[in-house]
Structure 1
Amino acid sequence: MIEKIKALWIKYEEIIAYLIVGGLTTVVSWAAKFLANFLLFDNTMYPTPFQNVVLSIINWTAGVIFAYFTNRKFVFKSNAPMLSEAPKFVLSRVSTLILDMVVMQVLTAVGVNLLVATVISAVLVIIGNYVFSKLFVFNKKKDGEAEEAK
C-alpha cells in the first residue's frame, strides 16, 4: 500500500503540489480580497463594478506575489533566473486577472452573490494559471530536446 502511494506521488507530484500551492494561494488572495472589502467597502456582498475591479486587483496582487515564489520552489522546482521568469509569470497572471474581472463582472451583474462568483472565477483562474505556468513560464525542455537543441 505504501509503495502504491509513493508511486502515485512520484507520478503526480507536480499536480498534487500545484493543487496544494493553488489552494494556499487562493486562501492568501481571498483573505486579502475579503479584508479589503471589509476595510474599504463595508463588507458588501453586492459590489459595484468599480468595487469589483478594486477587489480583483487586490486579490490578484496578493495571489501573484505568493504564487510566484511557491510555484517556483515547490511545484516547478525552477532554477532559471528570476529576471527571465518573473516577467512571463506576471504576464500570464495578467491574462487570468482579465479573465477574473470579466467573470466577476458578468456573474455579479446577473445577480450572483460575491462569494459564489468568486468561487466560480477561482476555478477557472486556477486552471488557466496551471496551463500558463506549465507551458509558458516554468517549461523545462525534456532531456532529449535539450540535447537536440545544443
Structure 2
Amino acid sequence: MNNQTHLHDDDKVSKLVNDISEGINDAGTTFPSESDPVQESNVKQGIRYILWGLISVVVNIGTFYLLFQIFRLNYQFANIVAWVLSVQVGFWVDREIVFRHKSDTAIKEMTAFYGTRIFTYLIEALTLWVGISLLSANGNLSKIVGQFLAIVGNYVFSKFFIFANHNTGKKSE
C-alpha cells in the first residue's frame, strides 16, 4: 500500500510540474527583445524627456551665452552654433535614453531629427528676432522663451514621428 501512495504522490507532482510549465509557456517572454519596443506611458517618457533634455538645453543656452555674451558674437550666429551642438546631443539622448529606440536606421532618423529641428529652430530664431531686434528685450530671456517653444515642438516631433515605435505588421497576442 505504501507503494501506491508513493505513485499517487508522483502523479500529483507531475501534474503540478506540467501545470506550471504550461503557465510559463503561455506567459511568453518576460523581457522584450530589441525588436519588441517597450511600451510605457507618455508621462514617463515626458518626464524623461524633460529631465534628460536638460543636457541639450544646457548645451544650447551655455553655448549661446558663451558666444553672445562673453565673445560678443552676433546673436544669430551664436544661436546657430548653439543649435547645431544641442541638436546633436539631443538626438543621441532622445534616441538612446528618452525613447529607448532600437533600430538600424540611425542615419535616417538623424536626418528626420535635424529636419524637424530646423522647423523649431526657425520658431526660436523668430522669437529671438522679435525679442531682441523688435522689442529690445533681454537676449537671454528671449532665448529662454524661444527654447521653451522649441522644446514643446521637439517633443511632439520626436515622440510621434521620429522615434515612434510603429507597428511593423506583427500581430498582438
Residue identity opposite 1:114 in structure 2: G
Deviation at 1:106, TM superposition (A): 0.6
| 1:3 match | none
Query: Aligned pair in 2 of structure 1 residues 96, 15: CA closer, same or farther (>3 Å)?
Result: same
Q: Is the 8 A contact 2:65 2:140 kept in 1?
A: no
**Which gives a bigger RCO, structure 1 or 2 (Cα 8 Å, sep 6+)?**
1
Match of 2:144 in 1: 119
Give the aligned partner of residue 37 of structure 1. 68
SS class of match (1:53): helix
- Rounded to whole Å, the distance in 2 between the matches of 1:112 and 1:53 is 15
Aligned counterpart in structure 1 of residue 94 of structure 2, from 45, 56, 71: 71
For 2:85 and 2:94, locate their aligned partners in 1 and report how far apart those are by CA, in whole Å.
Answer: 14
Q: Runs of 5+ in structure 2 lacking a partner?
A: 1-39
Counterpart check, 1:52 vs 2:52: no
TM-score between both structures, scaled by the size of structure 2: 0.69
Which digits, 9 at most, give the CA deviation of each residue in 1:38-89, with x for residues without a partner? 45317xxxxxxxx221021012011101100111111111112212211000
* Rg larger for: 2
Q: What's the counterpart of residue 6 of structure 1?
A: none
CA contact (8 A) 1:100 1:122 kept: yes
Question: Are the aligned partners of 2:76 and 2:125 in contact in 1 as well (CA < 8 Å)?
Answer: yes
Structure richer in helix, relative to its length: 1
Identity value in percent: 22
Q: 1:100 aligns with which of 101, 118, 124?
A: 124
The equivalent position to 1:82 in structure 2, one of 92, 96, 106, is 106
Could you tell me whether the CA contact under 8 Å between 2:68 and 2:75 is conserved in 1? no
Tell me the C-alpha RMSD between the 2 structures.
1.7
Corresponding residue for 1:110? Answer: 135
Indicate the residue corresponding to 1:18 in structure 2: 49
Q: Which 5+ residue runs of structure 1 have no aligned equivalent?
A: 1-9, 43-50
